Amino acid sequence: MIQEKEKYDAALEYATVMHKGQYRKGGKEYITHPVAVAEIVREKGGDLDCVITALFHDLLEDTEATEQDIERIGGAKVLHAVKLLTKPHNVVMSEYISGIRSDPIAFLVKGADRLHNLRSCIKTSTEFRKRYIAETEEWFMDFLPEIPGVVEEIRKTIV
């Protein structure tokens, strides 16, 4: 158990350092997002690899983090899931989603990520919310059972 806590602490510290200076649209420090995603993953029964993947899910896309560091701290399964979760610049959504669906860790983390982003998007523009709902309905509705209900709540905020 101590070893798991040390591994989690090392992952949290690395993610915090890598996201330093980044902020969410609402003004909160960016690290609050991966921490919230990790908490959702934990609530859904995710193991330590899932939780660390949640902490790391945006690192390759948004920071100078390296695959080597991610693997050193989290292990090969975490790195594999993080790579699946990293959206390529010229993304083909069907391929991106197919990759995520192929890996149970990536699938759980992406569901938690989408859920947290949906819960947070109330602070964004109406246009952003419309686009985010449309993308969610097309690709992510079955990732977690809470997602359809949150989409309906957001829809009520669009006039």
* Catalytic residue status for 61: yes
Distance from the Cα of residue 116 to its chain's centroid: 8
Tokens read off for 58: 């945006």
Of the listed 62, 135, 142, 152, which one is catalytic?
62
Task: Give dist(CA 25, CA 106) in Å, integer.
Answer: 24
* Catalytic residue status for 62: yes
Q: Which residues pair with 29 in a beta bridge?
A: 23
Dump the DSSP string for 19-61. TTT-B-TTSSBTTHHHHHHHHHHHHTT--HHHHHHHHHTTHHH
Phi (first) and psi of residue 90, to 5 degrees: -100, 60
Burial of 8: CB neighbours in 10 Å, binned 0-12, 13-18, 19+: middle
Residues 6+ apart with CB under 8 A from 22: 29, 30, 31, 62, 63
Of the listed 61, 95, 135, 137, which one is catalytic?
61
Catalytic residues: 61-62
